[in-house]
Amino acid sequence: MTMTLAFDVYGTLVDPMGMSRLLAEDAGDSAEAVAALWREKQLEFSFRKGLMKVYEDFGVCTRQALRYAMATHKLPLSEQRENELMAAYLSLPAFDDALPALKSLKGQYPLFAFSNGSYPALEKVLGHNNLLDQFEGLVSVDDIKSFKPDPAVYTYARRATGSWEKPLCLVSSNAWDVIGARSAGLLAVWVKRDPGKVFEDWGIEPSAVINSLSELPSIMKNL
């Protein structure tokens, strides 16, 4: 029975910290700190909106998080600059290992992109990096108006990828996403991009741990 692979996008295939280069114009030496806070709050805001049942798409969370990060660092943010940075977010750079890994897996497994992002945003950022054509389809939480790690989102991913009767494996660099998927009964591979990152001790373990997507084809045989 062929396993289906569902790839997280932000942080796994494309790098949100790529915004730090553009933010250098606004924040100078603090650009990386601003980019990191932007990403942190983007996720936090999505989690909170999911719990509160007041869904707004991921782009709204991203924009609100940008405003928060800039305000926290006491940096000006005009409407024009905000729109420029939001547009640039749709062209985040892919990690170097993303395209080669997807190409090596394509044809062996059904591949899907599975994200908190909306379909237009996913099409833009994946298309920008020549990743879009590697997937059989996209799965966005926008369809059910909630966010990962809501169990309903992972259940929806099973349905959307046609994986009710066969295994579905999430591939994600986000430990919270891996824990959410495992808790919902999926297999999940943690891409430990940061060697210093610690996996939260919740008594829920990843199905496998890799340091790069280049390792994925070889470890698939053992899942």
- Reported as type and span, the H/E element at residue 163 is none
CA distance 154 to 161: 11
| Residue 171: alpha-carbon gap to chain centroid | 10
- Grouping H, G, I as helix, E, B as strand and the rest as coil, residue 78 is coil
Residues annotated as catalytic (active site), given as ranges: 8
Rg of the Cα atoms in the chain: 17
CA distance 8 to 168: 13
Cβ of 161: how many Cβ atoms within 10 Å? Answer: 20
Peptide bond between residue 149 and the one before it cis (omega within 30 degrees of 0): yes
Q: Helices 175-183 and 151-161 sit at what angle, rounded to 10 degrees?
A: 80
- Grouping H, G, I as helix, E, B as strand and the rest as coil, residue 170 is strand
Q: Amino acid identity of 171?
A: V
CA distance 163 to 166: 5
Alpha helix stretches (DSSP H) within the chain: 19-27, 31-52, 58-72, 79-89, 98-105, 119-128, 151-161, 175-183, 216-219
